[in-house]
Amino acid sequence: MTAKLSAAKYRQLEQATDYATWRTHAVDLDAQSDMDVWKTNPHSPHYQHQLIQQRLINLRAWRKANDWPQLIFSLREGLHRNLANLANPELYKHSRVGTKYLIDEYITEVTSLLNYVCDHDIAELPFAEKLLFFRHTGQSFGRSALMLSGGANMGMFHMGVIKALHEQRLLPRVISGSSAGSAVAALLGTRKDNELAGLFTGEDIQFDMWRRLGPREMIKQKSIMDVRQLERFLRNNLGEMTFEEAFKKTRRIINITVSPVAKHQHARLLNYLTTPHLLVWSAVMASCSVPGLFPPVRLTSKDRLGNEKPYMASIRWVDGAIHSDLPAQRLSELYNVNHHIVSQTNPHVLPFITDQSRKEGWGRFLTDLVKGEVQYRSKQVIRLASYGLENGIIKNLLDGAVSIVDQRYYGDVTIHPTVGLKDYLHVLGNVTPDEYRAWVMAGERATWPKIAMIRDQTIIGQTLEDCIIRLKKQHLNRASDDHKLRLA
């Protein structure tokens, strides 16, 4: 009878259409597997439970005694991204929902304290010192980013990941996208929260990105697909917004990678800091210009009067995923990002992605060993094939292939779809609204098992960032009130 109930729960889990329903069935399955016993016991070889236990005891005691100077001192000293190895993914491979109760209690206590310090006047902490405390602690703790890979039509999966994170208020403000991921990042980054519903259902998207050229046009343009159709698709769905205008509208920090055709240029990360006046659709078109499918393109920006003009007119750009599918280092330099949530849909990468939900063991070790060896030998073969070749189309293609094989394609949390042969056969070509919604649902379902881990790894950093925003508003409101009093 129990086996039948479990089988029914598994089916309900797989068929869930929202996170609340999925979580209910997942919690029931955890209870049937006695996971509550494991969660209640704080001991684990995967983190320093004594350190977390003692810190929690201290924080609660100081709060009860209203010892705010000691609390603030302890928070400033002890808030680090991976304190006591709390970010270890092994802690989330035992149960379907959550991890040790001690970890949940500690994170809840820390975020509660931070919010209290932010929102209440504390005699021992003047406003200027309070703002400095949050800024310095936030800088030390770091930020999270969502990175969206390339993947042609498989990239629609990203929208489901975004929907799941947004509904749980876990969507980072910093978002990067390459190739197909750049289109999804741009769709998100040019819309406010109240405009996202139609994006998630597909009602506000025109699905007409692809148009195959005739034989003569293919020879003339040296590509298979019509880049003019791609431009129309992007202009229709993104409008004529620059990166700076998009940031001011949504406060989301979107970043798009592009790769240069010229050998002595470097891959670029386009955003409101590096290219504020660049048109977002133009950046996406360059990032989506996969060599062979689309020709290299120029970038377009707005001048001081709002008129379109070429950006670095002598340089042409192509697919951002070639050299920088996941621009982790550049995001770190620009935004202090040290935690990466990756939605990975690159067709050539998916066969090599390791299932993070699997526990460590010989089976996983041998699988990773074989996959690593295949990647390493592939890189050697490509480099050998390019040996001795002078600059030219073949040399450039082989160099690009080496860059693709040589990149790191996963993050602290990696979310990816389960795909089959039919998905590879339909990786190009316009999709129907039903196909789009199916990909969105697949993205949501792949994200739900990671929600607890993402929340635990990001909520402290998000709270620090939110507190800084609230304190700045308090400062502006106080300044406005003082100004009104002076005028009265």
pLDDT-derived band of residue 401, with 50, 70 and 90 as boundaries? very low
Mean pLDDT, the chain, integer:
86
pLDDT-derived band of residue 208, with 50, 70 and 90 as boundaries? confident
Please compute Rg for the chain using Cα positions.
25
Identify the weakest region by mean pLDDT among 130-139, 340-349, 404-413, 422-431: 404-413
Q: Tell me: pLDDT of 389 over 50.
A: no
Mean pLDDT within 74-85: 91
β-sheet bridge partners, residue 253 = 174
Q: Tell me: pLDDT of 270 over 70.
A: yes
Tokens of 328: 């982790």
pLDDT-derived band of residue 479, with 50, 70 and 90 as boundaries? low
What is residue 448's predicted lDDT score, i.e. its pLDDT? 97
Identify the weakest region by mean pLDDT among 117-126, 256-265, 400-409: 400-409
- First and final CA of the chain: distance in angstroms? 77
Ordered DSSP codes for 47-76: S-HHHHHHHHHHHHHHHHTT-HHHHHHHHH
| Residue 194 neighbours by CB under 8 Å, 6+ apart | none
What is residue 488's predicted lDDT score, i.e. its pLDDT? 56
89, 99 contact by CB (below 8 A): no
What is residue 366's predicted lDDT score, i.e. its pLDDT? 53
Residues with a catalytic annotation lie at: 179, 319
Q: Tell me: pLDDT of 369 over 60.
A: no
What is residue 134's predicted lDDT score, i.e. its pLDDT? 96
Q: What is the Cα–Cα distance from 279 to 252, expressed in whole angstroms?
A: 16
Q: Tell me: pLDDT of 394 over 80.
A: no
In this predicted model, what pLDDT tens digit does every residue of 140-176 receive, in sequence order?
Answer: 999 999 999 988 899 999 999 999 999 999 999 999 9
In this predicted model, what pLDDT tens digit does every residue of 212-251 receive, in sequence order?
Answer: 888 888 888 788 888 999 999 999 999 999 999 999 999 9
| Residue 375 neighbours by CB under 8 Å, 6+ apart | 352, 405
What is residue 286's predicted lDDT score, i.e. its pLDDT? 94
Torsion of CA 26, 30, 32, 38, to 10 degrees: -170
Q: Tell me: pLDDT of 363 over 70.
A: no
Q: What is the Cα–Cα distance from 416 to 342, expressed in whole angstroms?
A: 8
